[in-house]
């Protein structure tokens, strides 16, 4: 249940924000595909692990996770399946696992690696790759394509719907102010820029987590809206009671909260505070550099009303 939800600016829109709507539809369709793919992966994994397995594989599972049941099978092979480097993941399991009874440490590692390689090879034929993994952004990759795809992918329905409500509340007005084409370029620029900042922040961090979500772009749109209409009111539901909150106050509150949480975060949160903060900075900077004239025009129009 959302206790705080900005849902639209308290201004009229004289055109249809079709790029904003298109972005929302793309995010929705991609997530539906992600959910469908995850169901297929789970079903195929269970089907594979329900089959009888060689004794050595059962010993390997016992060495790795202390059990040799279906859950252990799906856990170990699923871990390898989502790893960027499959062979490295297998080697890590072999190195960290307990020694198989009757074998030396060196031989135990060899048999664990060989067995897992054989079993994962058969597993990978049956189980499709994760769509989400193909879409997410690995900060060490600097891959511009996944910088964009990760922005349109999400990890839960709540994540998706929360981002889309916030996005539409601010992006629709920004699109009307700067035009459809420039708005499209800004969306892509925010997707790229926020992930560049995330990669910079993760330099030297081992096993930095991949990221998905439109949040960085959303924060950029909040910042651009506040740049153009700092006193513009945003209709928000707080415990289902409607309030009109000035854009500058809403932006300041969110940026301040993200900075505070980032300073306290010790890698436990699943929220990517770096993309949030950098999105706000990039969005406001784009406004300052490219749209100061348009801001004066909007201010004159508001004053004349």
**What residue segments make up the domains of the chain, in order of their start?**
4-36+136-304, 51-133
Q: What is the pLDDT of residue 268?
A: 60
Mean pLDDT of 97-102: 82
Please report which confidence band the pLDDT of residue 11 belongs to, taking 50, 70 and 90 as the band edges. Answer: low
Q: What is the pLDDT of residue 46?
A: 93
Instruction: Please check the confidence at residue 305 and state whether its pLDDT lies above 70.
Output: no
Please report which confidence band the pLDDT of residue 141 belongs to, taking 50, 70 and 90 as the band edges. Answer: very high
Mean pLDDT of 260-280: 81
Q: Cβ–Cβ contacts within 10 Å for residue 88, how many? A: 11
Q: What is the pLDDT of residue 1?
A: 37
What is the Cα gyration radius of the chain? Answer: 24
More confident of the two residues 91 and 253: 91
Mean pLDDT of 13-40: 93
Q: What is the pLDDT of residue 257?
A: 83
Pair 133, 83: CB distance under 8 Å: no
pLDDT digits (tens, 9 = 90+) for 29-58: 999 999 999 999 999 999 999 999 899 999
Q: Which residues pair with 6 in a beta bridge?
A: 236
Reduced to 3 states, what is the DSSP secondary structure of residue 50? coil
Q: What is the pLDDT of residue 37?
A: 96
Please report which confidence band the pLDDT of residue 4 belongs to, taking 50, 70 and 90 as the band edges. Answer: low
pLDDT digits (tens, 9 = 90+) for 107-127: 889 999 999 999 999 999 999
More confident of the two residues 197 and 300: 197
Q: Cβ–Cβ contacts within 10 Å for residue 118, how many? A: 13
**DSSP symbol at 137:** B
Instruction: Please check the confidence at residue 68 and state whether its pLDDT lies above 50.
Output: yes
pLDDT above 70: percentage of residues in the chain: 91
Instruction: Please check the confidence at residue 277 and state whether its pLDDT lies above 70.
Output: yes
Q: Using CA atoms, how far apart are residues 98 and 93, in angstroms rounded to an integer?
A: 10
pLDDT digits (tens, 9 = 90+) for 222-269: 999 999 988 877 777 677 677 777 778 888 888 888 888 888 876 666
Q: What is the pLDDT of residue 208?
A: 87
Domain 4-36+136-304 bears CATH identifier 1.10.150.310:
no
pLDDT above 90: percentage of residues in the chain: 62
Burial of 116 (0-12, 13-18, 19+ CB in 10 A): buried
Instruction: Please check the confidence at residue 2 and state whether its pLDDT lies above 50.
Output: no
Q: What is the pLDDT of residue 205?
A: 87
**What are the angstrom distances between the C-alpha of 62 and each of 75, 76, 110, 173, 227?**
12, 11, 16, 58, 59
């Amino acid at each position: 249940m959302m206790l705080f939800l900005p849902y639209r600016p308290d201004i009229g829109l004289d055109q249809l924000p079709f790029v904003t709507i298109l972005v929302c539809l793309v995010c929705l369709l991609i997530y539906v595909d992600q959910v469908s793919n995850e169901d297929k992966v789970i079903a195929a994994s269970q089907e594979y692990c329900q089959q009888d397995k060689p004794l050595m594989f059962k010993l390997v599972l016992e060495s790795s996770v202390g059990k040799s049941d279906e859950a252990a099978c799906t856990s170990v092979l699923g871990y390898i399946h989502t790893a960027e480097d499959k062979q490295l993941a297998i080697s890590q399991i072999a190195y960290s696992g307990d020694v198989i009874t009757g074998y030396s440490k060196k031989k135990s590692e060899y048999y664990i690696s060989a067995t897992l390689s054989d079993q994962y090879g058969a597993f990978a034929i049956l189980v499709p790759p994760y769509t989400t993994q193909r879409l997410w952004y690995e900060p060490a990759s600097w891959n511009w394509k996944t910088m964009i795809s990760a922005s349109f992918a999400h990890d839960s329905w709540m994540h998706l719907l929360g981002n889309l409500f916030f996005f539409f509340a601010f992006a629709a007005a920004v699109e009307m102010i700067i035009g459809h084409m420039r708005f499209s370029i800004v969306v892509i620029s925010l997707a790229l820029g926020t992930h560049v900042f995330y990669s910079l922040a993760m330099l030297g961090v081992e096993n930095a987590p991949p990221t998905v979500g439109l949040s960085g772009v959303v924060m950029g749109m909040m910042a651009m809206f506040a740049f153009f209409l700092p006193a513009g009111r945003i209709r928000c539901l707080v415990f289902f009671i409607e309030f009109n909150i000035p854009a500058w106050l809403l932006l300041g509150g969110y940026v301040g909260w993200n900075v505070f949480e980032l300073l306290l975060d010790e890698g436990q949160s699943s929220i990517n505070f770096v993309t949030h903060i950098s999105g706000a900075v990039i969005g406001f900077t784009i406004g300052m550099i490219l749209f100061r004239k348009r801001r004066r025009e909007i201010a004159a129009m508001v004053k004349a009303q």
